Structure 1
Amino acid sequence: MTPTSSSPSVDSAARPDTDGRWTPRLVLLLIALAWPTQLLAAGGILGANATAGVAQAFHTTQVVWFGLTLTLTSTLLTPFVIKLGDLYGKRRVMLAMTALGALGETLAALAGSFWLVLAGRAIAGFYGPFGALSFAAVRDVFPARLVKSASGIMGSSVGLVALVSPFLAGWLVDGWGYRGALWFLAAATAVAFTLVALLVPETPRHSFETGFDWLGGLVLGGGLTAVVYAVGQGQSWGWADARTLGWLVAGTVALAVFLLIERSSAHPILDLKVLRRRPVALALTAGGLAQTVAFTMPGLAILLALYPHIPGVSAGLGWSAHHNAVVSVSWNLVMFGTGLLASRLLRRFDARRIWCAGLVVMAVGYTLVGFRHGNELQLALTSCIANIGAGVVVAGAPALVVGVVTRDEQGLGSGMLNMLISLFGAIVTAGAYAVLAADSTVVKGTAFYLDTGYSWIFWLGALVTVVALALSLFIPPLRDPEAEDARPAGATA
């Protein structure tokens, strides 16, 4: 018997009448889901480029909150978004999220004080968990034969975003300052709202429940938020600082309390029986770790590129942001192209083998980056190897989740993967900065990093990838969504 969710589908998904081939309507539908999903990645790049302008405009030493506010709001809301999507349909929740996202970025762009900017970013954070719904929606609205490839294309499109966003960020920030970046995000989020409203059909509800576990959601979201906050601040506060330890303990206690609450809740916000299944736990953990590496390492490589080259003091390459954007075209194109190829192969071959092959290549690639990153040619060649694997990872992770959960559990699976990427991302980033700090030189209060530190952050990425590979070897054969979705709702195999 195949375990099923405790919340079977209430209504049947409206599937397009096709034989499993791509049609113009399906292409538009994919764009409508991919645009708002990958806008999150673009927003991260634009926000990073706008941070210095915000600090200077408002003369604040607390500019870290410009990005952190959005991240914490998104983390807190993710459990609620997962459940609301199952209760009321994902399209309705997506529309609310994109509307609030556009409103928040508009408020931040218009703000005349730093705290009002933060209020706008907090509201914009409602849009943050969009990926928890969009990948799950693919299974609801695409023909079963195209679920894996559509998910893969949507995931791999992050390479295209990484290709264009640095140039866009430079143009906006150089021409209009930080407000230019925020106005663009507001307009792009409004476009996302329009695309979802016009092109995405309502998805089926996947829950009979009328109650809602608000307490469980707040405790889970609050616990995750506390841990992410502590890890994010640990480097500046110090890992032994009472504030860091206090937030870590508070977050850990909240997560433990959440487990107790869910066991006795009549309407649990997360179905823990699903998460306790070995295939689900393995796929989510391996997928979260591997995607964390794929998303985090390129951002850390920007430090290497932009920090100055001062012999004996700083081992950065000393590039301009524009030069870095030009050089990074190579590996971002490789990531996008590999992801598209992998999305096609996922329909024909065992997704586990493709996934594991991608992990091997990514681990080898980042090992090589650690050894060879001293100039444009070295960094481009080694990063292209790493991003061959990363392209497979971003395309394969959604297919991995599809293969271990039922259709009714897809929202839970995608949402948990989203939460783990946020959590692992904070931990890996903090670990990378700790590694850099261990091999640094401080000049007039500014830390400059030496080459050994840069090497070790890439080797850290390779090590995390190897851990994901080791877990992936124990994932059992995956479900076929075409066969799974062909059965009546609630049927077991």
Structure 2
Amino acid sequence: MTPSSSSPSVDLAPRAAADGRWSPRLVLLLIALAWPTQLLAAGGILGANATASVAQTFHTTQVVWFGLTLTLVSTLLTPFVIKLGDQYGKKRVMLAMMALGTLGEALAAVAGSFWLVLAGRAIAGFYGPFGALSFAAIRDLFPPRLVKQASGITGSSVGLVAIGSPFLAGWLVDNWGYRGVLWFLAAATAVAFVLVALLVPETPRYVSGSGFDWLGGLVLGSGLTSVVYAVGQGQSWGWSDTRTLGWLAAGAVALTAFFFVERSSDHPILDLGVLSRRPVALALTAGGLAQTVAFTMPGLAILLALYPHIPGVSAGLGWTAHHNAVVSVSWNVVMFGTGLLISRCLRTFDARKVWWAGLLVMAAGYTLVGFYHGGELELILTSCVANVGAGVVVATAPALVVGVVSRDEQGLGSGMLNMLISLFGAIFTAGAYAILTSDSTVVEDTAFYQDNGYSWIFWFGAMVTLVALLLSLFIPTLRDPVEEDAAGADADGQGMRPAPVPVAGLAPAPTTPSNAATTG
């Protein structure tokens, strides 16, 4: 049994009996956690569709900041969110994040200048790291036998979001412009706040009465943010530009300094001992790479669909946004359905073997898309193969994290996975655009991409997936939440578990068989 972190708190949220059965309360709890988690994915799609309207409204050439501001703030705050969730309870932190997200989107919606819009988006970025807490909360609140299934359903529901979001985005932008998108996001985040406030109990606190490593959080967050910013701007600045190299160097220096800061800190913001364990490092890296492909490739495929078809100039399909949304329903339904099926299979099958199979199918699918993407039927068939694999990947990735960390380390594992997805996503996107640009035609200062470039970005996705598969082969046997909780209960019954540390203002919960398994 892995030792608990420093001081697990009283159990504020006893879980239901570990019989593996769904109840109405658990279904509502899953909805309350899945809604705000998948709102992040919906917000990305809606925001991308609103970008052109923002640029035209404010006549700005800096519209890239409309999305980049939110990403940078989210990256900077993620390490703080991980620690605060363990120290004060995940529910409290989630509510604060959603309140700020609602306020930020509303401010951006009413803003009369572009820079005020960016200020609102920066505040909304506080909501960005929500996924770092939601999957950890599932580990805390669900019966052990349902943890992997609930995590899989939450992860795979991104396919359901991808089905409706393009249609919703078109309706909002066509009728109300970018303000319609921002008001919708503000309202949806407010609904998420109500769901969590009413349906989600507070989670155990795994750190109480300890200090907070503000310096370590700032150094780590600023280092990651510098790298993401440099990679995001590198394509427009040029990779040899002093600005790109300067931001990359600043990020590298900050990340190097972080390791020295954490070694000297009495209360490190991230437990480097946990992250340096081989199973954890392999699972997080492989999970980050594979999910980056699963989440990023559909957005890059939109370029193929929407760019015009001009023989000898542009090899796009020339579809309208509405036509692309209609066609993409097929593979998004496949992704969602596969994820639901796999989330149920995770209760009985080895998650590693399911994960390996999903990576193989996703790599094969994107290889096929690279060869066959010249029309509706070809793209539907090959993308459905790729999204069978993607559905497996997004449903199984949370189970990988659950299987390599203990319950009190779940917040750290989920948070690091989110940070890696952001970092890998920026690098992957920059690499894909570099591939497209290498085989493009420039007409009136506009780059149009050739078919060879489109093929290679899909093959690039397949190669990254194979790298994730290679790393995954070295992940050892995963632990099972059921067995871990049973072992914890046995240890507690024998007097082997440390006594809970009371939190100020709360009476210690009695240690009984009904709650011993949930104290960390």
TM-score category, normalised to shorter length: over 0.9
Q: In the alignment, which residue of structure 2 is the partner of 1:455?
A: 455
Shift of 1:19: 2.2
Shift of 1:5: 4.7
Residues in 2 aligned to 1:337 and 1:138: alpha-carbon distance in whole angstroms: 21
Residues in 2 aligned to 1:180 and 1:263: alpha-carbon distance in whole angstroms: 48
Work out whether 1:9 is the aligned partner of 2:1.
Answer: no
Work out whether 1:232 is the aligned partner of 2:232.
Answer: yes
Matched position secondary structure for 2:441: strand
Counting only pairs closer than 5 Å after superposition, residues 202-213 of structure 1 correspond to structure 2 as: 202-213=202-213
Q: In the alignment, which residue of structure 2 is the partner of 1:244?
A: 244
Counting only pairs closer than 5 Å after superposition, residues 319-358 of structure 1 correspond to structure 2 as: 319-358=319-358
Shift of 1:261: 0.2
Segment drifting more, 57-66 vs 481-490: 481-490
Shift of 1:10: 1.6
Deviation by residue 1:286-344 (Cα, 9 ceiling, x = unmatched): 00000000000000000000000000000000000000000000000000000001101
Q: In the alignment, which residue of structure 2 is the partner of 1:106?
A: 106
Counting only pairs closer than 5 Å after superposition, residues 123-202 of structure 1 correspond to structure 2 as: 123-202=123-202
Residues in 2 aligned to 1:477 and 1:7: alpha-carbon distance in whole angstroms: 26
Q: In the alignment, which residue of structure 2 is the partner of 1:484?
A: 484
Q: Kindly provide the amino acid, as one letter, of the partner of residue 414 in structure 1.
A: S
Matched-pair contact (CA < 8 Å) for 1:5–1:271: no
Q: Kindly provide the amino acid, as one letter, of the partner of residue 473 in structure 1.
A: L
Matched-pair contact (CA < 8 Å) for 1:314–1:448: yes
Q: In the alignment, which residue of structure 2 is the partner of 1:66?
A: 66
Shift of 1:491: 5.0
Matched-pair contact (CA < 8 Å) for 1:8–1:408: no
Matched position secondary structure for 1:447: strand
Q: In the alignment, which residue of structure 1 is the partner of 2:370?
A: 370
Structure 1 gap ranges (5+): none
Q: Kindly provide the amino acid, as one letter, of the partner of residue 38 in structure 2.
A: Q
Q: Kindly provide the amino acid, as one letter, of the partner of residue 431 in structure 1.
A: G
Q: In the alignment, which residue of structure 1 is the partner of 2:383?
A: 383
Shift of 1:7: 2.6
Work out whether 1:258 is the aligned partner of 2:234.
Answer: no
Matched-pair contact (CA < 8 Å) for 1:111–1:117: yes
Deviation by residue 1:417-462 (Cα, 9 ceiling, x = unmatched): 0000000000000000000000000000000000000000000100
Shift of 1:8: 4.2
Matched-pair contact (CA < 8 Å) for 2:75–2:129: yes
Q: In the alignment, which residue of structure 1 is the partner of 2:53?
A: 53
Work out whether 1:279 is the aligned partner of 2:279.
Answer: yes
Residues in 2 aligned to 1:468 and 1:491: alpha-carbon distance in whole angstroms: 37
Matched position secondary structure for 2:131: helix
Matched-pair contact (CA < 8 Å) for 2:5–2:206: no
Shift of 1:14: 1.6
Deviation by residue 1:82-131 (Cα, 9 ceiling, x = unmatched): 00000000000000000000000000000000000000000000000000
Residues in 1 aligned to 2:200 and 2:144: alpha-carbon distance in whole angstroms: 17
Q: In the alignment, which residue of structure 2 is the partner of 1:441?
A: 441
Work out whether 1:270 is the aligned partner of 2:270.
Answer: yes
Q: In the alignment, which residue of structure 2 is the partner of 1:19?
A: 19
Matched-pair contact (CA < 8 Å) for 1:75–1:419: yes
Matched-pair contact (CA < 8 Å) for 1:275–1:281: yes
Instruction: Give aligned pairs, total.
Output: 491
Residues in 2 aligned to 1:249 and 1:109: alpha-carbon distance in whole angstroms: 36
Residues in 2 aligned to 1:3 and 1:484: alpha-carbon distance in whole angstroms: 9
Distance 1:209 1:462, change over 3 A: farther
Shift of 1:36: 0.2
Distance 1:402 1:414, change over 3 A: same
Q: In the alignment, which residue of structure 1 is the partner of 2:294?
A: 294
Structure 1's consecutive aligned runs of 4 or more residues displaced over 2 angstroms after TM superposition are 2-8, 16-19, 488-492
Matched-pair contact (CA < 8 Å) for 1:358–1:393: yes
Counting only pairs closer than 5 Å after superposition, residues 393-432 of structure 1 correspond to structure 2 as: 393-432=393-432
Q: Kindly provide the amino acid, as one letter, of the partner of residue 106 in structure 1.
A: A
Matched-pair contact (CA < 8 Å) for 2:404–2:478: yes
Residues in 2 aligned to 1:86 and 1:115: alpha-carbon distance in whole angstroms: 35
Matched position secondary structure for 1:441: strand
Distance 1:209 1:405, change over 3 A: farther
Q: Kindly provide the amino acid, as one letter, of the partner of residue 124 in structure 1.
A: A
Segment drifting more, 200-209 vs 145-154: 200-209
Residues in 2 aligned to 1:418 and 1:491: alpha-carbon distance in whole angstroms: 31
Residues in 2 aligned to 1:285 and 1:491: alpha-carbon distance in whole angstroms: 32
Residues in 2 aligned to 1:334 and 1:8: alpha-carbon distance in whole angstroms: 44
Structure 2 gap ranges (5+): 499-520
Q: Which has the larger radius of gyration?
A: 2
Q: Kindly provide the amino acid, as one letter, of the partner of residue 7 in structure 1.
A: S
Matched-pair contact (CA < 8 Å) for 1:284–1:416: yes
Residues in 2 aligned to 1:418 and 1:136: alpha-carbon distance in whole angstroms: 12
| Aligned CA-pair RMSD | 1.1
Deviation by residue 1:28-53 (Cα, 9 ceiling, x = unmatched): 10000000000000000000000000
Shift of 1:209: 4.6
Matched-pair contact (CA < 8 Å) for 2:172–2:180: yes
Q: In the alignment, which residue of structure 1 is the partner of 2:315?
A: 315
Q: Kindly provide the amino acid, as one letter, of the partner of residue 148 in structure 1.
A: K
Matched-pair contact (CA < 8 Å) for 1:163–1:329: yes
Shift of 1:11: 2.2
Distance 1:5 1:258, change over 3 A: farther
Matched-pair contact (CA < 8 Å) for 1:288–1:418: yes
Residues in 1 aligned to 2:207 and 2:3: alpha-carbon distance in whole angstroms: 12
Shift of 1:193: 0.3
Deviation by residue 1:375-427 (Cα, 9 ceiling, x = unmatched): 00000100000000000000000000000000000000000000000000000
Residues in 1 aligned to 2:249 and 2:267: alpha-carbon distance in whole angstroms: 27
Q: Kindly provide the amino acid, as one letter, of the partner of residue 75 in structure 1.
A: T
Q: In the alignment, which residue of structure 2 is the partner of 1:215?
A: 215
Residues in 2 aligned to 1:220 and 1:24: alpha-carbon distance in whole angstroms: 41
Residue identity (%): 82
Residues in 2 aligned to 1:291 and 1:440: alpha-carbon distance in whole angstroms: 28
Residues in 2 aligned to 1:397 and 1:491: alpha-carbon distance in whole angstroms: 30
Q: Kindly provide the amino acid, as one letter, of the partner of residue 227 in structure 2.
A: V
Deviation by residue 1:244-301 (Cα, 9 ceiling, x = unmatched): 0000000011000000000010000000000010000000000000000000000000
Residues in 2 aligned to 1:5 and 1:256: alpha-carbon distance in whole angstroms: 28
